[in-house]
């Protein structure tokens, strides 16, 4: 699974995109919100992708977001232990999305791979295009 978020202005209209591949099958998804942030869209992309899986799966999530990557591999355990408070004693931003992502990850066997954005990784490039489609569809709806 490759995921990406996009935001035109931060905050501003945003979109998320997901490319999933398994065997010979491929699925693409995108969506967005009228007033959001890039970080929220990065999180929502993974939540929507994992949520679309009908049964427990082994998934490699490719993300170009250090926020998502570090959140899931470094920060989440301590946030939960501290009651969703950061190390500098502030509430975790986007806690409801982190909780939703944690719930989705709990349904699957997930490993995380960081990829450099806009560096030619075909899956990441497609997820980026899908995220931008999400921005555009959101703009048209708001229109």
Could you tell me which residues come within 8 angstroms of residue 135 by beta carbon, excluding any fewer than 6 positions away?
Answer: 6, 7, 8, 13, 14, 15, 32
The confidence score (pLDDT) of residue 90 equals 97
pLDDT at 140 over 90: no
49-83 tens-digit pLDDT: 999 999 999 999 999 999 999 999 999 999 999 99
H/E element holding 22? strand 12-22
Q: Is 4 a catalytic residue?
A: yes
The confidence score (pLDDT) of residue 143 equals 67
Pairwise CA distance, residues 51 & 136, whole Å: 23
Q: Is 121 a catalytic residue?
A: no
* CATH number of the structural domain spanning residue 20: 3.30.420.10
Over residues 105-110, the mean pLDDT reads 97
Say how many domains are in the chain.
Answer: 1
Catalytic, out of 14, 33, 42, 48: 42
Domain span at 75:
2-142
Mean pLDDT of the chain: 96
Catalytic, out of 17, 31, 49, 128: 128
């Amino acid at each position: 699974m490759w995921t990406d978020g996009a935001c035109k202005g931060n905050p501003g209209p945003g979109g998320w995109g997901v490319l999933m591949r398994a065997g010979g099958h491929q699925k693409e998804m995108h969506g967005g919100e009228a007033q959001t942030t890039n970080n929220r869209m990065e999180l929502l992309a993974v939540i929507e992708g994992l949520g679309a899986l009908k049964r427990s799966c082994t998934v490699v999530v490719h993300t170009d977001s250090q926020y998502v990557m570090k959140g899931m591999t470094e920060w989440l355990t301590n946030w939960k232990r501290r009651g969703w408070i950061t190390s500098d004693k502030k509430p975790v931003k986007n806690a409801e999305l982190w909780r939703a992502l944690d719930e989705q990850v709990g349904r699957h066997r997930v490993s995380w791979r960081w990829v450099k954005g806009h560096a030619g990784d075909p899956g990441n490039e497609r997820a980026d295009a899908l995220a931008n489609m999400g921005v555009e569809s959101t703009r048209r709806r708001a229109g």
